Amino acid sequence: MSTRTDSDWKGLRAVLWRSIAFLPYMLLVFVGVGGIWLSRWMLPIYVAILLYLQEWLEAALTCVLWLVLLWAYRRFRLSRFFEPPHSLL
């Protein structure tokens, strides 16, 4: 005879298993999408700091990296990931 606590533990085990199984995938998505969003705002600030410190080579390389990321953001239309969902009303 199954009791209420057995049923609760089965549900908890199912949720824990799925969260552990999909954790690497969600971390990859978070780092990828979040990193692109963060790079749009932080890399130009970092370039300005490097230029102020007269680190010309690092500033140029960071600027090139920023331009490549900005190109990828527009080319692959990644802005759609940051749009609010459409209303169903």
The rounded percent of the chain whose pLDDT value lies above 90 is 12
Residue 20 has a pLDDT of 87
Asked whether residue 85 is assigned to any structural domain, the reply reads no
Asked whether residue 88 is assigned to any structural domain, the reply reads no
Burial of 73 (0-12, 13-18, 19+ CB in 10 A): middle
User: What is the residue type of 72?
Assistant: A
Asked whether residue 62 is assigned to any structural domain, the reply reads yes
Residue 5's pLDDT band, with cuts at 50, 70 and 90, is low
Asked whether residue 69 is assigned to any structural domain, the reply reads yes
3 against 50, higher pLDDT: 50
Asked whether residue 82 is assigned to any structural domain, the reply reads no
Which residue range is the domain that position 10 belongs to?
A: 4-77
| DSSP-based three-state secondary structure for 88 | coil
Asked whether residue 44 is assigned to any structural domain, the reply reads yes
Q: How many domains does the chain have?
A: 1
Average pLDDT, the chain: 81
Residues 6 or more apart whose CB falls under 8 angstroms from that of 70 comprise: 40
pLDDT mean over 39-62: 87
Asked whether residue 17 is assigned to any structural domain, the reply reads yes
